[in-house]
Amino acid sequence: MKIAVIGTGYVGLVTGVALSEIGHTVICIDVDPEKVEKLSQGIPTIYEPGLKELIQKNINNGRLFFTSEHRRGLEGADVVYIAVGTPQRRDGSANLSYVEQAAVDIAANITRNVIVVIKSTVPVGTNFHIKELINRNTVNGVHVRIASNPEFLREGSAVHDTFHGDRIVIGTEDGETADILAEINKPFDMPILKTDISSAEMIKYSSNAFLATKISFINEIANLCESLGANVEEVAKGMGFDHRIGPDFLKAGIGYGGSCFPKDTNALVQLAGNADHEFNLLKSVIEVNNNQQLLLIDKILSRFGSVRGKRAAVLGLAFKPNTDDLRESPALVMIPKLVKLGADVIAYDPIAVSNAKKQFSVEIEYTEDLNEALQDADFAVIITDWADVKNIDLSAFAAAMRTPVVFDGRNCYSLDRVRKSEVEYYSIGRPSHTPELTK
Ligand code: UDX
Ligand code: UDX
């Protein structure tokens, strides 16, 4: 099968590379010629474990190509995937202008009937709108069929998730299109759900909204645990044994970030509103998350009173480990707040520093060296549970910092470990630890 993929962001690139790995000939199209140039040379434009090897292998196999020219990319394609971004507008709704642009590009350049597959997360109804937009603008009497095939990739494990996901969802208007897509996806060897287009679009939003709900729920429980003297990790463990609940996505912390949960929950609230449905549950999920992202500020202020002139080591900038992505990261709200309160911030991240520099307008220091970040700090704030932060010898805090006070937004350390250290420790939903008091 000859496949074209429009958009080489996280989703498009991983999808295109994976489709080439399972034997299809894939040409990835992106409007950004610099990205295309790098990718053509086998250099990944995003950090994703395992991706570089697969890109290089499939370029060498002659199955994977990159171009910035739609005419060239779409020539001879049987199936065209749309995987451009759908960022949120200021009102929370999804911005479909990139998807619409991709549709216009498809219409202008295809020379035969193709199946268009929408991978991007789009509001219910968008697939039909895009099909009509393309079919209205095609030349030579060609037309397209449309399919919704949402992605369920987690950044940082996108390659793994593509090959070992839980399901593939295919929404179409007819059985033949569904069969063709099922055949394309067969080598992934995963359960395939064939359904109608609107349900497929809704499955994506509902899945992300439910996972976000799980996280906000456990974060609320965590906050309650602190007031009642319970330990949220024990609570989550006990809940997770119940297979109806499951142990995943019950990790309390400083809230969810990333390119999907914040955007998709807002979009679903908006979508519900358009249908005259007040999605109060989801509105609360979002509110809990917004509060959670700033929770550590309250803890820092109640410990120090004021942070003016204090040196703050912020550990982690990415919204989660194994990615250099800062989209909706709690770091984006925490750091400006600390700076506004007068703290002198040094931010550590092993791979997200260069992306961070483009995002922050506030003056802070950056480092890729964890120990340098801790040097002479008055307190440390853990934003991302990077492996090196989790595995640090806790004595390093006392050795390097002026005062080893740690605010851990990711519950990186067991309380047993902390109790054996000299660290003054505040985490989420667990008892705090003050060495002087326990000695
Ligand atoms: C994806 C999905 O598409 C989005 O719907 C999902 O909810 C989250 O993840 P992502 O892959 O992260 O988005 O998007 P992004 O990193 O913004 O990349 C989009 C790419 O498409 C960029 O490389 C951009 O240059 C390219 N693009 C954009 C085109 O090739 N054509 C366009 O018309 C617009
Ligand atoms: C998510 C979905 O998991 C994926 O299926 C979808 O297609 C895209 O959105 P992603 O945003 O890459 O993937 O990361 P994910 O691992 O789901 O984490 C999202 C956020 O939730 C992160 O900020 C993470 O730290 C947070 N999280 C996750 C928690 O706070 N607690 C948890 O238990 C799990």
HSE-CB for 401 with a 13 A CA cutoff: 26
Place of tokens 């999804």: 94
Protein residue closest via CA to atom 34 of ligand 1: 98
Q: How far apart (Å, rounded) are the C-alpha atoms in residues 409 and 391?
A: 15
HSE-CB for 90 with a 13 A CA cutoff: 0
Distance between Cα 7 and ligand 1 center (Å): 5
Which of 35, 38, 17, 37 lies closest to 27, judged by CA? 17
Tens of pLDDT, residue by residue over 89-140, are 888 888 999 999 999 999 999 999 999 999 999 999 999 999 999 999 998 8
Check pocket membership of 121 for ligand 1, CB cut-off 6 A: yes
Which residues are the active-site residues?
Answer: 260
Q: Starting at the earlier edge strand, list the strands of the sheet with 344-348.
A: 365-367, 344-348, 311-315, 379-382, 405-408, 424-426
Pairing between strand 405-408 and 424-426?
Answer: parallel
Protein residue closest via CA to atom 13 of ligand 1: 85
Give span(s): CATH 3.40.50.720, the chain: 2-195, 293-426
Tell me, what's the pLDDT at 283?
98
Q: How far apart (Å, rounded) are the C-alpha atoms in residues 98 and 85?
A: 7
Topology given in CATH for the domain delimited by 204-291: N-(1-d-carboxylethyl)-l-norvaline Dehydrogenase; domain 2 (1.10.1040)
Whether the per-residue pLDDT at 161 is higher than 70: the answer is yes
* Prediction pTM value: 0.93
Mean pLDDT of 311-329: 95
Is residue 32 classed exposed, middle or buried when 0-12, 13-18 and 19+ CB atoms within 10 A define those classes? middle
Whether the per-residue pLDDT at 438 is higher than 60: the answer is no
Percentage above 90 pLDDT, the chain: 93
Check pocket membership of 16 for ligand 1, CB cut-off 6 A: no
Ligand 2 atom having least distance to the Cα of 153: 7
Tens of pLDDT, residue by residue over 169-211, are 999 999 999 999 999 999 999 999 999 999 999 999 999 999 9
Mean pLDDT of 400-415: 98
Is residue 161 classed exposed, middle or buried when 0-12, 13-18 and 19+ CB atoms within 10 A define those classes? middle
CATH code for the structural domain at 2-195:
3.40.50.720
- pLDDT tier, 439 (very low <50, low <70, confident <90, very high otherwise): very low
Tens of pLDDT, residue by residue over 212-258, are 999 999 999 999 999 999 999 999 999 999 999 999 999 999 999 99
Check pocket membership of 260 for ligand 2, CB cut-off 6 A: yes
Name the percent of the chain in helix, strand, coil, to the closest 5.
45, 15, 40
HSE-CB for 11 with a 13 A CA cutoff: 19
Distance between Cα 385 and ligand 2 center (Å): 13
Dmax (CA) of the chain: 82
- Return the ligand number nearest the Cα of 428: 2
Both structure tokens of 317: 């900038």
Check pocket membership of 30 for ligand 1, CB cut-off 6 A: yes
Mean pLDDT of 10-30: 97
Mean pLDDT score of the chain, rounded to an integer?
96
Which of 6, 154, 11 lies closest to 79, judged by CA? 6
Q: How far apart (Å, rounded) are the C-alpha atoms in residues 332 and 343?
A: 15
Tens of pLDDT, residue by residue over 138-159, are 988 899 999 999 999 998 899 9
Contact 317, 326 (CB under 8 A): yes
Tell me, what's the pLDDT at 1?
84
Tell me, what's the pLDDT at 432?
96
Distance between Cα 87 and ligand 1 center (Å): 9
Tell me, what's the pLDDT at 96?
96
Which of 187, 170, 188 lies closest to 179, judged by CA? 170
Ligand 1 atom having least distance to the Cα of 13: 11
Pocket test residue of 121, 160, 169, 320 for ligand 2, highest count of atoms within 8 A of CB: 320
Q: Which residues, 6+ apart, have CB-to-CB distance to 228 below 8 Å?
A: none
Mapping DSSP to helix (H, G, I), strand (E, B) and coil, where does residue 66 land?
A: strand
Whether the per-residue pLDDT at 437 is higher than 60: the answer is no
Give span(s): CATH 1.10.1040.10, the chain: 204-291
Mean pLDDT of 55-76: 97
Q: How far apart (Å, rounded) are the C-alpha atoms in residues 371 and 387?
A: 14
Check pocket membership of 260 for ligand 1, CB cut-off 6 A: yes
Mean pLDDT of 336-357: 97
Which class does domain 293-426 fall in? alpha beta
